Amino acid sequence: MPVEWAKPLPHPTALSQPFWDGTRQRELRLQRCTACATYRFPPLVLCRNCLSEDHEWVPTTGIGTLYSYVIQHRPATPAFIEDLPYVVAIVELDEGPLMLTNIVDCPFDDLNVGMRVAVTYVDASSDITLYPFTPAG
Ligand code: ZN
């Protein structure tokens, strides 16, 4: 774990804390509606499919497909300058939801929409474990 993480970090809420508890335990968890089984991400109070508030937190495979990406050459904030260039991506999890993330440990020439990717974990602080993806298998 880095001694000091100088980049901005997420601020979990009561709604999202179970997600961050999951990444800390190396598990990518999603809300799943107990009325209609639709997965939710990001965490929501109501199901987008049936409007039920009822849900459970369930582990996912952590596997998905690269849906879209950009190679970032300008940082979102100066805190990311040392990382340039880096990949900002949307991954479609096998469970359905789209997830904004990064792709790491992948040469840019190997990036392809539709490629299989798997979650990996990076401890950024004592509370936050980030969830970049990397080529699967
Ligand atoms: Zn539902």
Mean pLDDT of the chain: 95
Confidence of residue 137 (pLDDT cuts 50, 70, 90): confident
Plot region of 19 (φ>0 → left; ψ -120 to 50 → alpha; else → beta):
alpha
**For the segment 12-68, what is each residue's pLDDT rounded down to a tens digit?**
999 999 999 999 999 999 999 999 999 999 999 999 999 999 999 999 999 999 999
8 within 8 A of 24, measured Cβ to Cβ: no
Q: What is the pTM of this model?
A: 0.92
Say how many Å lie between the CA of residue 131 and the centre of ligand 1: 26
Measure 46 CA to ligand 1 centroid, in angstroms: 8
In the reported structure, the alpha carbon of residue 43 is separated from the centroid of ligand 1 by a whole-number distance in angstroms of 13
Ion ligand 1 neighbours (CB, 5 A) are 33, 35-36, 38, 47, 49-50, 52
